[in-house]
Structure 1
Amino acid sequence: MAERSDMELTDGYEKRRLQEVQKYAFLERQVNHSSDDLVGLATSIFGTKTALITMVEQDRQWFEARIGFDRCETSRDASFCAHALVSEDVLVVLDAKKDPRFLSNSLVTGEPFIRFYAGAPLVTPRGYVIGTLCIIDDMPRESFSLDDCKRLQSLARLAMDQFELKRLTEAQKAALCLSRTIADGILNVTLPDSITHSNAAASKILGYDRQEFLDLSLSDLIPTELSRKVEAASKRFAKSNREYASVGAVEATVKTKSGQEVPIEFSAGIWRSDGTLMMGIILRDIAERKRREASFQMLFERNPLPMWIIDAKSYAFVSINDAVCDLYGLPAETMLKRTLLDIRLPEDRAGVSQFLTRIGDAYEAPEPVTHMTFDGKRIRVLPYARRIQYGGKECILSVIIDVTERERASIELKSTRIFLNAIVESIPSMLFVKDVEDGRFVLINKAGEELLGLDRADIIGKTDFDFFSQEDAERFTAADQAVVAGEELVVIENEPVLTRKGIRSLRTQKVGVPDASGKPRYLLGVSEDVTERLAMEQHNRHLSRHDILTGLPNRLAFQDLLASNLSIPEQSASGFALYLIDLDRFKAVNDSLGHHAGDELLRQVATRLSVVKAEGDTVARLGGDEFAVIHRCCGSAEQAQRFAQQIESAFAAPFLVDGQQIAMGCSVGVALYPKDGSHADALLKRADLALYAAKEASECSYAFFNPALEERADRDRLLRDELRFALDKSQLHVVYQPIVDAQTHRTVCCEALLRWHHPELGPVSPVEFIPAAEAAGLIPAIGRWVLQQACSEAACWPSDVRVAVNLSPLQFTGFTLARDVAWALSNSGLSPDRLELEITEGIFLRDSDDNIDMLRQLKTLGVRIALDDFGTGYSSLSYLRSFAFDKIKIDRAFITGLPSSADSLSIVRAVIGLGRSFRATITAEGVETSEQVEVLAREGCDQCQGYMFSKPIEARAVHLRIAHEKGQEAVTA
């Protein structure tokens, strides 16, 4: 055997080795002549004075046999044999005085003066070294041959065989003794079926004597089903490499010799003995246990108290009675799927394990614990528990007593003692009780002390006349008498009372409290100080009708004021004007200077409007930057116009906000009563239409309502409503205006233009329906449809003709534009380089960075991007620096003046130059004369578009036009 390291010797190996030594400890108590013979033989063979058989324990070595040595044991530290534990080879020390390991050993320097040592290890069948057979001499030796080592090892093996035989003999005696005394029956079986041994308990259980058992087979004794299990287990074991296998425990019913059926618990073990399969069987008579279990089950199930059995490890319910189901509110089959933790509070579950650990043979909880029923109700219970064996497992049996109602009654009894004081003191209003006979106070709470500014000691036993004025006291006494006489609740609202805190408004309720005879004995009163509440209600009423920022009437109040003006006869006769005012560019002030500056500006506007208004007029802030004025001194349209001009004049001077001068204009819409409406809603609606017209006209203007505005609004609303169905009803269609090469006049692209033909309204101009679509939020859906339609139709054109589709700024507000374009290209099969997307400068006016990112995403798809209506915005050149456009389209406003206008020509020439600089294609829009074509071609414009070449045409006409051009080219060629 290879040497073991010190680590192995001091780790798990040494622990197991010491356990192995203990199996042979009985040898120390016995006289073993064969061992004495062995050591004597060793001294004869090797010519030494001393030979020992040692057993090495943790701290000592003791001698199982010895010759030539007086001691019975030595310490392990001084032991030579302890060094032999690390190997199954013989340890040889020829001269201990020359060996560093033993030079200072007490057995070398003192008795018996060891010089020579040779030890062969005693190795158990399991491979552990438990000691040695060693020879010792006081004279050194020159050598110890290999043959000598083998002879010494043979003696050691012989000694170990003797020890093992003795150990097995002792074990057999113990097993035989156990077999005779144990109450369980034991059978030994040589598999497959032969019984070779039985004990007395087996004879007692089954009625057969020992000889009769030997004449029987196992299958004669046990049921067929159990016999099959044993046979199957035997076959599995025979095929395995295992040393041992167990079967059981299984409950079964067997017949005794007399034919009586007996319940038994069957368990077995299988092992190999010299190649033969053996089985040891234990038969336990469980008849008494079955009787006890049946009695227990009957008591358990019929007990009116809740009882359960839980698994001691998993806390799962193993068995419950009906009373448990009633208490916790679940049927048995559901309850048995739960655990004890399910009925404990979440915060108590961590302590369940500690609680169950305390349970022994019997346990009574020192105090109730809280459980939860399955409808969420908490109950208090006292558990009584004990540990039991149930179904072969360790379990806990508990009896539960519900003490919820008992505890509740106890708590209510205790709380009743402090209930009145608690409720009286917690009421924030003054609560008092007076004696009906003399009007003296017998009780008052803390709130009463605070209201009256007195301690209750100074109040109890006194009357109202001791604290209040004569007038107040007489009024209170009269109310008390009315309560006693009427025997009903009396409520006194907002009663002014002079207290030490000044005049307070009280709301007092008084009621009589009768005695046992039913007559009023006391008077109970509650006085609530409502002074602050009344003031707050007044303040809230003001706030609910006034703008917090400006102090002006708000929209709610304004509507009431407008309605009241309509209801005043003299006002209805003379008429008045309603002005709606909207500040121009107010959002820019908020964005640039902050909301605090915007708030200050609104306050100053309110001040100026209040200065302008005449006596009897109303100025209100309706919300945001919208104000309204009712001008009552208005007998004619001219007077109304003059007041509108006064409002404009109020905005003429700049506003000073945070040291900065802010020029702020306004738009004003005017509606006249009764001319423009006879009720409030109509006037507000028409003033709003006039305001919209004023904002459309220009900044800093006013407009009066006229019926055309309402007609236009009605038509806009009609168009918005009808547009929602136009797509589904196929009322929309796309036409195309050709774009031609400026030199060859051949069609190179077609711009897709949307048209709407309503079945009743007829053709509707894009000038009308596009704003309606924007207002209705339909632009994204319509734009997506136009894109898909244009790509599908253009895919049928020759591959050198592109299609241009206009994009609205509203299509950039979402995140789907690039996806929509990609889908239209994929679905139609149109090559991306044949699609031009036209955008206007409007997309740069808001979220310009995000929109430029979107343009870059579109560009990655391979499409071309064109800048439409170039030159009409505020900063066209900056947009050219922000993004590399593939095409720039010159707005028709600059083409119309050609060739006569020098300014128009200069602008066109400059744009064409920019196009060359940015490598962009230049397209002129609105080309209508041959002179314009000639100038544009001469200046180097790339493409032309306009009625000079073609009006917008249907998709099928595009085919014919292109085919015609191809034919012309063929003839020319």
Structure 2
Amino acid sequence: MPSYEDMVLGGLGRHADNTALVATSGHEPLAILWGGTRFERWLGQEIQSLEVERLSADIAHGIREITQNALQSRTPAATHCIRARQGTIESTGLLALPLANRQGVPFVLLCIDGVTSRLDLVDAIFRATNQGMLALSAVRDDEGHVSDFTILALNEGAARLLQRPASDLCLQRLSSVVPNLPATNILQRLAQILDDGGRDSFEFTYPTTSGRQIDFKVEIGCIGDLLAMTLADISDVKAREASSRLLFESNPVPMWLFDPESLRILRVNDAAVAHYGYTRQHFERMTLLDIRPREEWDDIRRVVDRLTNVDGLSSFWRHLRSDGSIIEVNTFARTITFEGRSAVLTAAIDVTERRQAEARVAYMAHHDALTELPNRILFRERLEAALADLPRHGGELGLLCLDLDNLKLVNDTLGHPAGDEFLREAASRLRHCLPAGDLVARLGGDEFAILHFNMEGIQDTLALAARVVEAFNRPFAIQRQQIVSGASVGIATAPANGTTTDVLLRNADMALYCAKAGGGRTYRLFDVEMDNRLQAKQVMEQDLRQAFVEGQLDLHYQPIISLLEGRITGCEALLRWRHPVHGHIPPAEFVPLAEDIGLIEPIGEWVLHRACREAATWPEGIRVAINLSPAQFNSGKLVDCVSSALSCSALDPGRLELEITESVLLLKNEATMTALHRLRDLGVQIAMDDFGTGYSSLSYLRSFPFDKIKIDRSFVHELGENKQSTAIIRAITGLGKSLESTTVAEGIETIEQLEHLRADGCDEVQGFLLSRPVPAAELKQLLATWHPDRLAL
């Protein structure tokens, strides 16, 4: 029986011309054993056991690749064999079929697949590049001299750059394509290249038909009697160069170029000439050393020796101007290429005035601009230094912290310029109080501090504090007005009250707090009990925060009774706190604390929601009264909070009364009054609490129509005993009737007080005589069992 390969080869028929048989070893082709006539033509040589290594590299590469693919996959494989021949690129498809002979050694049958395609390589490059390419033929006169050139061929890149169709340019004379060509030396240069048979490059400007000029970089090469020309548009490069020159020459910053080897100044701009005062000719004869003081020459040499490809190097130097004056400059340098060689471009920024300003700023950083006194930073530094020297030199050190009174009043009534004058006068008075060597500083606002050296005992420091208080008790003459001020002083001494800055300042502040709490215009010396009270306050702060988070706060309600009808018309919600260790904490203690630590706003929001929710369960017609803190007005969220509480509880807005004190109206401003009117628009009632205890109650009644006026308990307490209190209550109830406002008296503890209020025409009352504040659960029982006869005590 014939072998498989004999059968395959014998059955090729007319396809035998396109095929060849390849012997292999280890998946590598060794030799072509047999091939058809077309295959031989494709190879370009006769096949007689032709070794693959003897083939051209491009053919051998293609055969190896397709043979390996066919043998490894054991299936037919296909590829394109690419080869370059005489400037032409040929692409031929090959198909490989794996075979086996009697011995089991694999063979591969190669077959040319399809038609070989050819591409002119030069033409492909000619058409593909974006650069302009032209072929020029010389035009000679009768004597054989070159007079012009004809464009024999060009690519699309050249047509695009010349902004004319290729068909219009082909076979045209170069002089008819490039305007004013005879007026240039371009034809002579092209002729010279043709005669010399060499190469050249140059630049020229080409005016387009649109009026725009294009800068071309031209490269020329000679090929026999032809010239090959390439064009590249360098307009952007030229524009950047022009911009760079303009940036250098017209830059307002002094600039120059210098040679890093000789240090000679090569170019200088107008700004440098004007700023340094040298003429341009003089400047460009100088070296880098000539504009620097001699003592800095070694430094500049060391810096320049290290210059290699500088990019953005910044340095600080002193420079000499032509008049001999020295200026301080920051220089910025970078290496550039200038006229074919390396140079360093330097820009110099004069910082003389800035450095002087920085010195002023450094002074101002440690001094108060308004009073010229040392500020908190310098005072702290001096205090730390004094405490560090204390163990070495012995003695004592006094620290006095003080606050001034009425600065806000001066600012609000006379304006901030008057407030500034007040502070300058205060600083002057403090300077006059001090013995030599002491230091006074303004810490900020109306806060000052004194560092008292060379103490001769505590009495010496107390005497200084007394002088300060006395100095501020004298009126200030500000803008032709007498301003009565005052000062509170807190004193701490070292080492008795502390040996570190923080401890001493803390203790002096604590003593100042006690002086202010005692009414002000006095001084206090720190003692340990102050610290104990402060620590107790801090513990209470933490406990109050925890109490709010853990729900330890509660609301009790005190009934408000109508004297006319004898029924309960409302209940005042009162905040209560039962401490797990200390028991009942009076609201007078923890409410101001909540205001100080910023907790009153969330507590107030909780009270609103809780009280509205519980009031919604009471009988119709019974209102709930809730006290508001000034801090709730300051937040700007009060109206939204009230609206949310009413919405969540579904309480009729007419059943909610909001009680405010005169301290809220002391903040009288547009925002406060707007908030009050918005609350009124919600339908709630507004009551003024503690009426008659402030300074301007009547003016407040005029500025806002209150629904209810609450008479302060201090007047009620003296009913029947103090004629003035009785008269005040009678006046308030009469005023309420005139203004159509309900009057409420609180703090009723005796039958006599009740009868006086009834006789004076008071509308409503509340107090221990009628009912103490009770929890919500007890209130429901009280509301259910209340009878008007209880007023007939």
Maintained 8 Å contact 1:581/1:666: yes
Distance 2:639 2:335 in 1: 81
Show CA shifts across 1:27-69 (max 9, x none): xxxxxxxxxxxxxxxxxxxxxxxxxxxxxxxxxxxxxxxxxxx
Which residue does the alignment assign to 2:730?
909
For residue 527 of structure 2, what is the aligned residue in structure 1?
706
> 2:708 is matched with which residue: 887, 905, 928?
887
Contact preservation (8 Å) 1:483, 1:511: no
Partner of 2:609: 788
- Aligned letter for 2:522? S
Question: Residue 422 of structure 1 is aligned with which of 223, 228, 248?
Answer: 248
Distance in 2, Cα, partners of 1:523 & 1:727: 71
Amino acid at match of 1:455: T
Structure 2 residue 390 is the aligned partner of structure 1 residue 564:
no
2:504 aligned with 1:669 = no
Deviation digits for residues 364-383 of structure 1 (CA, Å, limit 9, x no counterpart): 998799xxxxxxxxxx999x
Supply the AA of the counterpart residue of 1:872. Answer: T
Q: Deviations over 1:235-280 (max 9, x none)?
A: xxxxxxxxxxxxxxxxxxxxxxxxxxxxxxxxxxxxxxxxxxxxxx
Matched-pair contact (CA < 8 Å) for 1:480–1:523: no
Report the identity percentage: 38
Find the aligned partners of 2:686 and 2:721 in 1 and give their Cα distance: 32
Match of 1:827 in 2: 648
CA pair 957-423 structure 1, distance change in 2 beyond 3 A: same
1:630 Cα offset (Å): 0.9
CA distances 1:408-467 after superposition (whole Å, capped 9, x unpaired): 555577778x59x9389876378766996xx99877665665566432434665799999
1:686 aligns with 2:507: yes
Tell me the equivalent position of 2:741. Answer: 920
Q: Amino acid of the residue matched to residue 863 of structure 1?
A: V
Q: Distance in 1 between matches of 2:253 and 2:405?
A: 56
2:279 to 449, 455, 467: 455
Q: Deviations over 1:780-802 (max 9, x none)?
A: 33222212222222233333533
Code of the aligned partner of 1:938: A
- The answer on 1:731 being equivalent to 2:552 is yes
TM-score by length of 2: 0.62
Q: Give distance in 2, aligned partners of 1:485 and 1:943.
A: 97
Which residue pairs with 2:666 in the alignment? 845
Encode CA deviations 1:93-134: one digit per residue, 9 max, x unaligned. xxxxxxxxxxxxxxxxxxxxxxxxxxxxxxxxxxxxxxxxxx
Q: Partner of 2:764 in structure 1? A: 943
Give distance in 2, aligned partners of 1:870 and 1:557.
Answer: 48
Shift of 1:603: 1.8
Task: Give the Cα separation in 1 of the matches to 2:515 and 2:669.
Answer: 29
Letter of the structure 2 residue corresponding to residue 643 of structure 1 = L
Q: Could you tell me whether the CA contact under 8 Å between 1:431 and 1:445 is conserved in 2?
A: no
Q: Which amino acid aligns with 1:587?
A: K
Correspondence for 1:615: 436
Q: Following the alignment from structure 2 to structure 1, what is the Cα–Cα distance between the partners of residues 251 and 611?
A: 81
CA distance in 2 between counterparts of 1:735 and 1:593 reads 46
Name structure 2 gaps, 5 residues minimum.
Answer: 1-118, 131-159, 170-205, 218-229
Q: 2:701 aligned with 1:877, yes or no? A: no
Residue aligning to 2:425: 604
Question: Structure 1 residues 561 and 902 mapped into 2: Cα distance closer, same or farther (>3 Å)?
Answer: same
Given the superposition, is the C-alpha separation of residues 404 and 612 from structure 1 closer, same or farther in structure 2, using an over 3 Å criterion? Answer: farther
SS at match of 1:568: helix
Number of the residue aligned with 1:500: 323
Is the CA contact 2:403–2:488 (under 8 Å) kept in the aligned structure 1?
Answer: yes
Deviation at 1:743, TM superposition (A): 6.9
Q: Secondary structure at the match of 2:551?
A: coil
1:629 counterpart SS class? strand
> Are 1:956 and 2:780 counterparts?
no
In the other structure, the counterpart of 1:767 is: 588
1:872 partner SS:
coil
Q: Deviation per CA, 1:319-375, whole angstroms, max 9, x where unpaired?
A: xxxxxxxxxxxxxxxxxxxxxxxxxxxxxxxxxxxx9xx999989998799xxxxxx
Residue 903 of structure 1 aligns with an amino acid whose one-letter code is Q
- Output aligned runs, 1:156-171, within 5 Å: none
Point out where structure 1 has 5 or more consecutive residues left out of the alignment: 1-294, 307-354, 370-379, 383-401
SS of the residue corresponding to residue 651 of structure 1 reads: helix
Q: Which has the higher contact order (CA 8 A, sep 6+)?
A: 2
**Residue 435 of structure 1 contacts residue 442 of structure 1 at CA under 8 Å; is this kept in 2?**
no
Aligned to 2:24: none
CA-CA distance at 1:871 after TM superposition: 0.7
**CA contact under 8 A between 1:430 and 1:447: conserved in structure 2?**
no
The structural deviation recorded for 1:711 is: 3.9
Query: Aligned with 1:789: secondary structure?
Result: helix
Q: Any conservation in 2 of the 1:368–1:403 contact (CA below 8 Å)? A: no
1:529-564 CA-partner distances (Å, limit 9, x unpaired): 665454333222212212222211122212111111
Distance 1:879 1:483 in 2: 77
How many Å separate the matches in 2 of 1:785 and 1:549?
Answer: 45
Contact 2:253 2:272 in 1 (8 A): no
Q: CA deviation at 1:736?
A: 1.0
Classify the secondary structure of the residue corresponding to 2:718.
coil
Amino acid at match of 1:457: Q
Bigger shift: 425-434 or 721-730? 425-434
Q: Is 908-917 or 818-827 further displaced after alignment? A: 818-827
Alpha-carbon distance between aligned partners in 2 of 1:484 and 1:962, rounded to the nearest angstrom: 97
Write the distance in 1 (CA, Å) between the matches of 2:316 and 2:368: 31
Secondary structure of the equivalent of 1:677?
A: coil
Q: Distance in 2 between matches of 1:524 and 1:855?
A: 70
Q: Name the aligned partner's letter for residue 500 of structure 1.
A: D
Aligned length: 581
Equivalent residue number for residue 654 of structure 1: 475
- Distance, in Å, in 1 between the alignment partners of 2:231 and 2:486 is 80
CA distance in 2, matches of 1:699, 1:962: 47
Aligned pair in 2 of structure 1 residues 930, 653: CA closer, same or farther (>3 Å)?
same
Name the counterpart of 1:242: none
Report the CA distance between 1:654 and its aligned residue.
Answer: 2.9
> Which amino acid is the alignment partner of residue 725 of structure 2?
S
**Residues 615, 651 of structure 2: 8 Å contact kept:** yes
Maintained 8 Å contact 2:560/2:570:
yes
**Distance in 2 of aligned mates of 1:440 and 1:784:** 79
Larger radius of gyration: 1
Contact preservation (8 Å) 1:430, 1:446: no
State the 1:734 CA deviation: 0.5
Q: How far is 1:407 from its partner?
A: 4.8
Change beyond 3 A, Cα 1:706–1:484: closer
CA distance in 2: counterparts of 1:683 and 1:649, whole angstroms: 24
What residue number does 1:629 align with? 450
The alignment status of 1:587 with 2:408, answered yes or no, reads: yes
Q: Structure 1 residues 803, 533: closer, same or farther in 2, change over 3 A? A: closer
- Using the TM superposition, give the Cα deviation of residue 869 of structure 1 relative to its aligned residue in structure 2, in angstroms: 0.7
Residues of 1 paired with 2:300 and 2:657: CA distance? Answer: 93
Q: Deviations over 1:497-529 (max 9, x none)?
A: 69624455689999999xxxx9xx999999886
Question: What amino acid is the match of 1:879?
Answer: Y
Give me the whole-angstrom Cα distance separating, in 1, the residues matched to 2:469 and 2:266: 72
- Conservation of the 8 A alpha-carbon contact between 1:923 and 1:942: yes
8 Å CA contact 2:654, 2:685 repeated in 1: yes
